[in-house]
Amino acid sequence: MKALKFVGSSLDDLRKFPEEARRAAGFELRAIQDGFEPRDWKPIQAVGAGAKEIRIHVLGEWRVIYVAKIRDAVYVLHAFQKKTQKTSQRDIDLARKRYKQIGE
């Protein structure tokens, strides 16, 4: 199983999700650690190679951007509530900045 590493404030941000959404995110992250794909995701190339976005549809729309292709860890770059149809540039920029921090 891959280690789970949180970059920046992503762990604190994830903890702010409602309990049901937080539980769903935890389930998906555990699956990724075990080598499986999450149930609902999409690649997010604007962040960097291999970056993906978990989509959680519980009590609103929630997103977790992560990278699992690097070394032996899953890096959670950003966790946030999505309030519009398109992911905001601010969220993409923050995830891209954190992607660069992990060395890829």
**Tens place of pLDDT for every residue, the chain, 104 residues?**
899 999 999 999 999 999 999 999 999 999 999 999 999 999 999 999 999 999 999 999 999 999 998 778 999 999 999 998 888 999 999 999 999 998 75
CB atoms within 10 A of CB 92: 18
* Contact present, 53 and 63 (Cβ < 8 Å): yes
User: Which structural domains are found in the chain, ordered by start?
Assistant: 3-101 (3.30.2310.20)
Cα torsion for 33, 89, 17, 69, to the nearest 10°? 0
| Amino acid 55: pLDDT | 97
Question: What whole-number distance in Å separates Cα of residue 86 and Cα of residue 71?
Answer: 30
| Amino acid 42: pLDDT | 95
| Amino acid 104: pLDDT | 53
The structure's pTM equals 0.93
